[in-house]
A and B are shown apart, each in its own frame.
Chain A
Amino acid sequence: MQGYSLLSLARNAISHHEGWQKAWRSPELKAEYDVVVVGGGGHGLATAYYLAKEHGFKNIAVVEAGWIGGGNTGRNTTVVRSNYLFPQSAEFYDFSLKLFEEMSSELNFNVMLRQAGMVTLLHSRHDVEVMRRNLNAMHMNGVDSVWLDAGEVADIASGINMSADARYPIKGGILQKRGGVARHDGVAWGYARAADALGVDIIQQCAVTGFDIKNGNVCGVRTQKGNIKTKKVAVAVAGHSGVLAEMAGFRLPITSMALQACVSQPLKPVFDAVVLSPAAGVYISQSDKGEMVMGGGLDMYPSYAQRGNVHTLEQVIAGVVELFPNLSRVKLMRQWAGIVDIVHDSSPIIGHTPVAGMYINCGFGTGGFKATPAGGFTLAHTVAHDKPHKLNEAFSLKRFETGAFIDEMGAAGISH
């Protein structure tokens, strides 16, 4: 792998930047692999990377139906944070945030992590009471978070409507300083390049059409580009998890729905932090290019369409304009949707499936991007050892039988 550094930049500048190699190969699909990872999003690529790096697997394929990072990895609003309520989630997501903090040097790829903080707005006495409790829970779980009074919120979220008769009056907020944004494409590309350097074959435009299963054990994967013999399969396909599960003959506690986001035209710097208002049902941040990045709740019915409805978008925009009246004349530039995998307790499923040798990472719903490194790390561990890592033990499919749910509906306040 050609390393990226100031020196290599200077060296390539002399040759007019014509000497750069491709960041990853486009190899032919082989007939047999030790592990086949289905899904070339952030989670799948991270799984392949950690399988190669931490567990010494030499013969891994990542098969992707479209192009890498083209699904939810490229459609999210790039927020990273770990301010969850329950200890299992806090430990998992905080580990993920730590991996994000090391990622650029680990992968030798700038993922443009910007830890400018994430503010959750409180608009009523009840918000204040509930979040006091949540803040204490975060401190008990060792997650950094601080209390903000209304004035401090106004300093961070400049332009926010502080008037006394605002629809959403500002009563305070909580701030996770380590929260922020990272470049989502960069995360996919960084993992892809680093995994490729460790010998992982990344096969794009190669949809899986079925699985070969004998006596309850997986023994092959059928794809558009040919059949693959393998004893281990790791599935990380978010919204299409149900489709893949059906091919393998089992069902999941997942409903696939569309989640929208949108960006405005680029503006000069407005504010640095990510601002979330559970009551208004919106969150907003500003990208490095200056666009205001906005999102909200789900389109609340099953969909595989990767597009959302106008009235859901209208609700998001209405919430943003209530909070930031100075943005009311700003033009929207793009709007899109991704298909997310919604689970009853808003927590992921990482671990074994009813088919031996087949493992799954799904159910992140509206919040999968921030979990990309930890999702890959724990799935790789589970595949390599045939048993879960300490961090994903609680997130097994079995919890739907035992009732040991981790109900994180309150974590973001927005249907997740």
Chain B
Amino acid sequence: MLKISCPWCFERSEEEFVFGGPSHLARPNNNDEISDKKWAEYLFMRDNVKGVSLERWGHVHGCGQWFNMARDSVSHKIHFTYKMGEQPPKNWQSICGGDDE
């Protein structure tokens, strides 16, 4: 069972949260000229990182807010969370124990 620190509610049980895909995916805004391949890249293709990555989570059975989380998919260790619209620290990969992805 993970204990997740929601930036709004602090530490709560994993059961109150939902995983919502990778963070910082930018939706292409050139809809008219974008190729099907590029569109598929955005919609479906995933890094599926073995190691630390940035994820979006929603506190759906709590405050209802979405936020970002740096989490390790092997150890399940949660390194830090930060609010929607914020960027992670520039050196987040070294903060999380090096570039092991």
Contacts and interface: CB of A to CB of B under 8 A. Distances in A.
Interface of A: 240-243, 246, 251-256, 300-305, 309-311, 344, 400-402
Given A243-B48, A252-B45, 4 more contacts: A240-B50, A242-B47, A251-B46, A252-B46
Given A302-B55, A311-B14, A401-B36, A242 B46 contact: yes
Identify whether the interface residues of A are mostly helix, strand, loop, or mixed: mixed
Contacts of A252: 45-46, 48
B48 A400 contact: no
Interface string B3-29: 000000000001100110000000000
Contacts of B15: 311
Contacts, number: 66
Contact of A310 (B1, B36, B46, B53): B1
Interface of B: 1-2, 14-15, 18-19, 36-37, 39-41, 43-50, 53, 55, 73-76
A251 B47 CA distance: 6
A374 B40 CA distance: 27
B97 to A, nearest CB: 16
Contacts of A253: 40, 44-46
B50 A251 contact: no
A304 B44 contact: no
Contacts of B49: 242, 302
Contacts of A400: 40, 43-45
Nearest to B19: A301
B39 to A, nearest CB: 8
A304 B73 contact: yes
Most chain B CB inside 10 Å of its own CB: which residue of A243, A246, A302:
A302
A302 B45 contact: no
A255 B48 contact: yes
A160 to B, nearest CB: 28
